[in-house]
Structure formats: C-alpha cells, structure tokens
Amino acid sequence: MKEKIIKNCKELLPYLIIFIVVLLIRTFIVTPIKVNGNSMYNTLEGKEFMILNKLGTPERYDIVVLDARNDELIKRVYGLPGEKITIENNTIYINDKKIEDVYAYGETSNYETITLKDDEYFVLGDNRAVSLDSRTIGPIKKSQIKGTTNFIIYPFNRFGKLK
C-alpha cells in the first residue's frame, strides 16, 4: 500500500510542478487582462484581451494597467518621475518642451503645470474626451501600476504587438 502511494505521488509530481510554475509566472511575470471601455480608443477598441507584463519600469508612451479609485484602468504614460508637465491649448509640454502627441484622439483639455515626485507618473487615455486619467485623478504612484501591456491575444484578427 505504501509503495502504491509513493508511486502515485511520483506520477503526480510533474503536474504539481507545472501547476506551481504556471501560478508563479501568472502571479509575478505575466497575466492576461481584458480591456474595458473606450478611453484608449483609437489604439484599443475595448473587449480586447492582452498580456500584462509585470516586470520592468514603465517608460514614456507605454500602455499601463493601474489601480485607481478601486478600479483597474488602462492608460498611456506621458510624464515620468521628476518631470514637469503642462497641457495648454491641446499641446503637452514636458519640462517646457512640446512633445508630438501621436496617440491623442480628440482634444486634450488644459492642465496646470505640475512637477511629478520621484515615484509618480502622469498618464492619459488616448481618447481624451472620455478618459479618466491624471487630468482628473492626479499623478499615479509607481505602486499603483500593475504592469505594461502591448500585446493583443484576442480578437485574433488583432493578434500581435501594438505599434
């Protein structure tokens, strides 16, 4: 009887290892996420499934998933820690330099100058008219960012890396 139990445990061991590895990868490295809403339109249309990368530090123009106001939001990073951000007449200035905003869909409302702290980011949705972003909720702390995403896995006709 004891030998049978040992044999069964040895047979189950590879499956247990696979389960633990998958659980660790999903918890600490990558996980699927679903896009809700249209605040990232034209880039994302909503209802896409994407891969969230939980490693690394967000860079300018990365799409991030964040926790804000007890909700999971998807936005694009514009301002990095320590930078000065101003939005005036539909133009974004970072450290007093105008940037080309190729992702904006619609008008970007004015935002008074703010200097980000060492752990803060300024995020905007691509669809500026409907986006709940840093213009409304203020800068985002690094601890609120769950990771970056740029790879669509569903729908299949959009499968692949975003440009």
**Whether 134 is catalytic:** no
Residue 126 CB partners (closer than 8 Å, separation 6+): 39, 40, 41, 42, 43, 44, 76, 103, 104, 105
**Whether 39 is catalytic:** yes
Q: What is the 3-state secondary structure of 6-59?
A: HHHHHHHHHHHHHHHHHHHHHHHCEEEEECCCCCCCCCCCCCCEEEEECCCCCC
**What tokens does 39 get?**
């605040």
Considering the candidates 2, 4, 39, 97, report the single residue annotated as catalytic: 39
Task: Name the residue type at position 136.
Answer: T
Residue corresponding to tokens 């330099």: 97
Considering the candidates 7, 34, 47, 75, report the single residue annotated as catalytic: 75
By annotation, the residues acting in catalysis are 39, 75
